[in-house]
Amino acid sequence: MAITPDTLLNDRYRIIKILGKGGMSSVYHAVDENIGVLVAVKANLMLTDDYSRQFQREANILATLRHPNLPRVSDYFFIPGQGQYLVMDFIEGEDLRERIERLDQLPEREVIIMGAAICDALMYLHNRQPPVIHRDIKPGNIKITPEGHVVLVDFGLVKLLEDNQQTTTGARAMTPGYSPPEQYGTGRTDERSDIYSLGATLYAALTGAVPEDGLSRLTGKDKLTPIRKKRSNISERLSVIIEKALEVDADKRYQNAQDFRVALLDAGNMTTIPIENSLVTPPPRRQNEMPAIHTGISQPLISIPLSESIKKSANHVFPWWMATILLILFISTAWEIQTGAISNFFNSGNKLLVPESTTTSNPLVIISSSPSPPTLTPDKAALLTPEIETEIAGANPFPTGGGGGLIAYASNEDDVVMQLWTYSLVDGTRKKLTHLVDGACQPTWSPNGTEIAFISPCQTKKELYEGARIFTVSISDLEKITPLPVAVDPSGDFDPAWSPDGQKIVFSSLRPGNAPDSKERLVHLYIYDFKSEELKEITDTRWRDRQPAWSPDGKSLAFARKVSSNEIWQSAPDGSNAKRFSGSTNSNDNYPAYSRDGKIIFFTQQSVNGGIPYFSGKRLADAGLALEFRIPPSGQPDLSPAAEMDVSPDGQWFVFERWLDGENHDIYIASINGANVNILVGTPSFEFAPVWQPALLP
């Protein structure tokens, strides 16, 4: 049973919020009111006699541990009818998984020092009597404090290694990519199992990628990709050391943490860990600290309710300095109107007003001779307003079109990783939907416009998202984030697209592994059916298939297939009757999107020799022929460089990603023929993958 904030446990520990929840335990952030310090409280969720005895026995052992790279366990207590609790130091800072997501690849020297520090902790644990085996070393369980110190955390899965003890007792962490093969099933785990997991963690820190799973490698399905193939500037000596720690045969690994530590330091031309104030670079201070919600492949899903203090801060009154700035802007605008400056600008011709990029949204001004499409009523817009939002002071409703009220997109505004945001076409407000430590991107709307499917982790825009997983969130309940109910695969699932009937999600996946002949990493399309709860691989070729899109009637899929170049293909939803749609052979075609009547497929084109990406379209009747038409037509102002368009519910507009300066990606809107271009989101941050909310039913 979850413990609510402000609960006082054992007349001493007042709960602040939940930090994480796994299958057998929950961890809470709390304050020890006796001495006024922050602590972490771990609650045992498995209250059977066997697990309860094991939890207490482990608590007794852990309470005796004292090491600078380990948190200190300070208390254990049992509340009849409620549960068992372990109290330990609360370690501030960022975990290594966050750092990898933020930096992608860490400096070689820091990885060596970090690995040696964890080896110090393992030497201490493994030399206890009986030896203590951690069994869950991974990036998410290594913390870097604000002072730059390294701490190995989370002892909820430790094993006390005794000569007469079978390894089948107790909980087992099985994190794909980080767990050694012997940790699956009933194999014997020992000190060398921790060596493997630490080696996998250092591999991820150096390359930014999770190593191939140990069990898959043991069965011959996969082979370990050498570190220098992923990052060529890493020293060969360090690569060999870490790859030895990752041997699937435990006898071929380092046999103890001391040997692994010596080898790591030797690779860095060191004999001991340097004595410095900060062993590694301290984590950056976050400007807006939000609850940590982990969705990475190295962590189970943890849904964290927003604390009351955070909810209140999102709705606070503007500070005095903001009011002063708004007053100055108001006076300035009034003067411009009085002097006729704005009026003269509009009277100078059919020019569009494109405001300069700022950290707040810009009101959309569309000048068009075509009839104005319908807009959302204020009543409907009120149903779509999440709690956390960024408002434009003094924003007024403005003429717009499209038939839908929100644009969802990904942005790293106000964060070090990508998060989901929405832009309202009704009042110009931007709202941040997610606060995931792992990041979130690639949103796709459910057909009723009330849910969004997305992927996480997501640090930035990529072609392939290794280790990603698909989740859904309701925009009326942002705290409820649910993983797509498919078997977790560490390879990565991405490019989700919701079917028009809402019953299926199609996505790209690295699940197929490598091609048996070419050894090229395959990407195929999969479909999950919510009704039958079945997952099906629908493309099974030697090609790489990505970016699926549904036809409006749900009877066809368009997708990008890498042959000699990227081509647009079509198939039935089950993958049958696949045919090439692209006609041109000298371009790379990506990001297909159907027109609302289903007669045209729009896509992004780019020369195979590089160059600037642009938009094209082609009628389904011309499939396979080189009869693409460019958007906008020749002679009209160009939209390039641009990519990833999504058509409005009424079919008359599209939203897209554009980067005029070659670097800063923003969100734009245009009418379906490429005219009436205007910026929606123009911040110094990186925005991409915009999708238009379907029109809500009355």
Q: In the structure encoding, which two tokens stand for residue 284, read together?
A: 């950056």
The answer to whether residues 58 and 156 belong to one domain is: no
Position 167 scores a pLDDT of 35
Position 185 scores a pLDDT of 65
User: Which position has the higher pLDDT, 20 or 338?
Assistant: 20
Give the CATH number of the domain where residue 519 resides.
2.120.10.30
Position 295 scores a pLDDT of 56
**Does residue 523 lie in a domain region?**
yes
**Cα gap 142→673, rounded to integer Å:** 52
Average pLDDT over residues 653-669: 92
Give the CATH number of the domain where residue 77 resides.
3.30.200.20
For the stretch 663-674, pLDDT in tens is: 889 999 999 999
With bands split at pLDDT 50, 70 and 90, how would you rate the model's confidence at 159? low
The answer to whether residues 171 and 253 belong to one domain is: yes
With bands split at pLDDT 50, 70 and 90, how would you rate the model's confidence at 399? very low
Last residue of a domain, one of 249, 267, 285: 267
Q: What is the mean pLDDT of the chain?
A: 80
375-380, long-range: CB < 8 A, 24+ apart: 375/399, 375/400, 375/401, 375/405, 375/425, 375/426, 376/404, 376/405, 376/425, 376/426, 376/696, 378/426, 380/405, 380/696
The answer to whether residues 85 and 103 belong to one domain is: no
Q: Is 53's pLDDT higher than 50?
A: yes
If phi > 0 it is left, if psi is from -120 to 50 it is alpha, else beta; for residue 167 that is: alpha
DSSP state for residue 514 in the 8-state scheme = B
Instruction: Specify the amino acid at residue 77.
Output: F
Q: Tell me which residue has tokens 């999770």.
A: 210
Q: Is 344's pLDDT higher than 50?
A: no
Contact 113, 106 (CB under 8 A): no
Position 698 scores a pLDDT of 52
The residue segments making up the domain with residue 60 are 8-90
**Mind giving me the DSSP string for 648-680?**
-TTSSEEEEEE-TTSS--EEEEEETTS-S-EEE
Q: Which residues pair with 35 in a beta bridge?
A: none
Position 442 scores a pLDDT of 98
Position 488 scores a pLDDT of 84
With bands split at pLDDT 50, 70 and 90, how would you rate the model's confidence at 328? very low
User: Within 10 Å of residue 233's Cβ, how many Cβ atoms?
Assistant: 7
With bands split at pLDDT 50, 70 and 90, how would you rate the model's confidence at 516? confident
**Does residue 419 lie in a domain region?**
yes
Average pLDDT over residues 376-393: 31
| Catalytic status, residue 545 | no
Position 473 scores a pLDDT of 93
User: Which position has the higher pLDDT, 657 or 394?
Assistant: 657
Q: Is 265's pLDDT higher than 90?
A: yes
With bands split at pLDDT 50, 70 and 90, how would you rate the model's confidence at 160? low
**Cα gap 474→484, rounded to integer Å:** 13
Average pLDDT over residues 57-75: 84
With bands split at pLDDT 50, 70 and 90, how would you rate the model's confidence at 287? very low
Q: Is 46's pLDDT higher than 80?
A: no
Q: Is 337's pLDDT higher than 70?
A: no
Most confident among 379-393, 396-410, 630-644 (mean pLDDT): 630-644
**Does residue 472 lie in a domain region?**
yes
Percent of the chain beyond pLDDT 70? Answer: 77
Position 72 scores a pLDDT of 87
For the stretch 346-364, pLDDT in tens is: 233 333 223 333 333 333 3
The answer to whether residues 41 and 113 belong to one domain is: no
**Cα gap 648→695, rounded to integer Å:** 9
Contact 573, 498 (CB under 8 A): no
Instruction: Specify the amino acid at residue 44.
Output: N
The answer to whether residues 483 and 587 belong to one domain is: yes
| Helix (H/G/I), strand (E/B), else coil: 336 | helix
Average pLDDT over residues 588-603: 96
Contact 294, 301 (CB under 8 A): yes
**Does residue 278 lie in a domain region?**
no
Q: In the structure encoding, which two tokens stand for residue 93, read together?
A: 């800072």
The answer to whether residues 25 and 160 belong to one domain is: no
| Helix (H/G/I), strand (E/B), else coil: 215 | helix
| Helix (H/G/I), strand (E/B), else coil: 491 | coil
Q: Is 122's pLDDT higher than 90?
A: yes
Position 611 scores a pLDDT of 82
Q: In the structure encoding, which two tokens stand for residue 89, read together?
A: 């130091």
If phi > 0 it is left, if psi is from -120 to 50 it is alpha, else beta; for residue 635 that is: left
The structure's pTM equals 0.50
Check 95, 136, 427, 438 and give the catalytic one. Answer: 136
**Cα gap 265→205, rounded to integer Å:** 16
Q: How far apart are the first and last CA of the chain?
A: 39
**Does residue 272 lie in a domain region?**
no
Position 36 scores a pLDDT of 83
The answer to whether residues 630 and 503 belong to one domain is: yes
Give the CATH number of the domain where residue 246 resides.
1.10.510.10
The answer to whether residues 74 and 160 belong to one domain is: no
User: Which position has the higher pLDDT, 490 or 431?
Assistant: 431
Last residue of a domain, one of 267, 301, 331: 267
**Cα gap 536→379, rounded to integer Å:** 40
User: Which position has the higher pLDDT, 696 or 7?
Assistant: 7
The answer to whether residues 356 and 259 belong to one domain is: no
**Does residue 334 lie in a domain region?**
no
Last residue of a domain, one of 51, 66, 90: 90
For the stretch 599-628, pLDDT in tens is: 999 999 998 887 899 999 999 999 989 899
What's the domain count of the chain?
3
Position 357 scores a pLDDT of 32
For the stretch 74-99, pLDDT in tens is: 888 888 878 889 898 898 889 999 89
Q: Which residues contact 129 (CB under 8 A, 6 or more apart)?
A: none
The answer to whether residues 55 and 171 belong to one domain is: no
For the stretch 125-138, pLDDT in tens is: 999 888 888 888 99
Q: Dump strand ranges (E) for 11-108.
A: 13-21, 25-32, 37-44, 73-79, 83-89, 94-95
**Cα gap 684→474, rounded to integer Å:** 28
Position 281 scores a pLDDT of 85
DSSP state for residue 455 in the 8-state scheme = E
The answer to whether residues 674 and 531 belong to one domain is: yes
Average pLDDT over residues 176-185: 85
The answer to whether residues 65 and 98 belong to one domain is: no
**Cα gap 86→63, rounded to integer Å:** 9
Q: Which residues pair with 17 in a beta bridge?
A: 29
Q: How do strand 666-671 and strand 687-692 relate by DSSP bridges?
A: unpaired
**Does residue 286 lie in a domain region?**
no
**Does residue 301 lie in a domain region?**
no
Beta strands across the sheet bearing 150-152 = 94-95, 142-144, 150-152
